[in-house]
């Protein structure tokens, strides 16, 4: 059953909806930050924005909620390989990868290619934390291994060479971006 997994198109729409929702909630904080003189530097805005978005995705993708507003609209849920909801700890580990590989950079392109090429349509965030993004209607099959739902798929299936190369490229790209952010932060500090 290939329509169990949420493809990159529905996931992208859900992510876009979530970014709009996050922006609406963060807009008042941004306005206050600008009036306080904090909003002049884009890196400072990123430092303000990132933890809030991280907690947003972690909370909604965990077992505490049925999914982010975007995922609810697109009828997607995030589960482990057995079809169970994510504990908060795993959702906290998945969210930074989702944010990093969801930013409009070469990393997001690599992640889309990875989702399109893997059997279970998994992105880097899914492969690292061992999760699946599945359609809500299809998740009813999660506990029945005879139906071909997520529980029927072994967690140890080997990936083709192209998937492994995409993961390596994505990891290298994330190191470059994180290094650039750290360098930009230290360069923005006042000189002594």
φ/ψ region of 144 (left if φ > 0, alpha if ψ in -120 to 50, else beta) reads beta
Tell me what the mean pLDDT of segment 16-25 comes to.
Answer: 85
Closest by Cα among 153, 8, 121, 144 to 74 = 8
Do the Cβ atoms of 60 and 69 come closer than 8 Å? Answer: yes
**pLDDT for residue 153:** 42
Domain region containing 31? 2-188
pLDDT tier, 97 (very low <50, low <70, confident <90, very high otherwise): confident
3-state secondary structure of 157: coil
Q: Domain total for the chain?
A: 1
Helix (H) or strand (E) holding 133: strand 131-135
Q: pLDDT tens digits, residue range 113-146?
A: 888 888 899 998 999 889 999 998 754 444 444 4
Q: pLDDT tens digits, residue range 46-72?
A: 777 778 888 899 999 999 888 999 999
**pLDDT for residue 101:** 82
Does residue 87 have a pLDDT over 50? yes
Do the Cβ atoms of 102 and 112 come closer than 8 Å? Answer: no
> CA–CA separation, 44 vs 29, rounded Å?
12
Tell me what the mean pLDDT of segment 148-164 comes to.
Answer: 46
**DSSP letters spanning 135-156:** ETTGGGGTT-GGGTSGGGS-TT
**pLDDT for residue 122:** 92
Helix (H) or strand (E) holding 131: strand 131-135
Tell me what the mean pLDDT of segment 21-40 comes to.
Answer: 73
Q: Which residues contact 57 (CB under 8 A, 6 or more apart)?
A: 18, 68, 91, 94, 95, 98, 99
């Amino acid at each position: 059953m290939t329509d169990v997994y949420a493809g990159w198109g529905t996931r992208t729409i859900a992510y876009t909806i979530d970014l709009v929702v996050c922006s609406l909630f963060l807009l008042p904080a941004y306005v206050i930050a600008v009036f306080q003189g904090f909003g002049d530097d884009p890196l400072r805005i990123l430092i303000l924005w990132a933890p809030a978005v991280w907690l947003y995705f972690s909370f909604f993708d965990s077992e505490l909620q049925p999914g982010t507003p975007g995922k609810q609209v697109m009828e997607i849920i995030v589960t482990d390989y057995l079809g169970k909801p994510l504990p908060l700890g795993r959702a906290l580990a998945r969210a930074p990868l989702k944010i990093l590989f969801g930013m409009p950079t070469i990393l997001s392109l690599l992640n889309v290619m990875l989702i399109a090429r893997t059997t279970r349509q998994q992105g880097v965030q899914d492969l690292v934390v061992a999760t699946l993004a599945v359609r809500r209607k299809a998740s009813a099959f999660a506990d029945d291994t005879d139906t071909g739902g997520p529980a029927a798929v072994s967690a140890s299936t080997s990936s083709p060479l192209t998937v492994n190369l995409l993961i390596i490229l994505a990891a290298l790209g994330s190191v470059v971006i994180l290094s650039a952010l750290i360098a930009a932060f230290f360069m923005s500090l006042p000189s002594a």
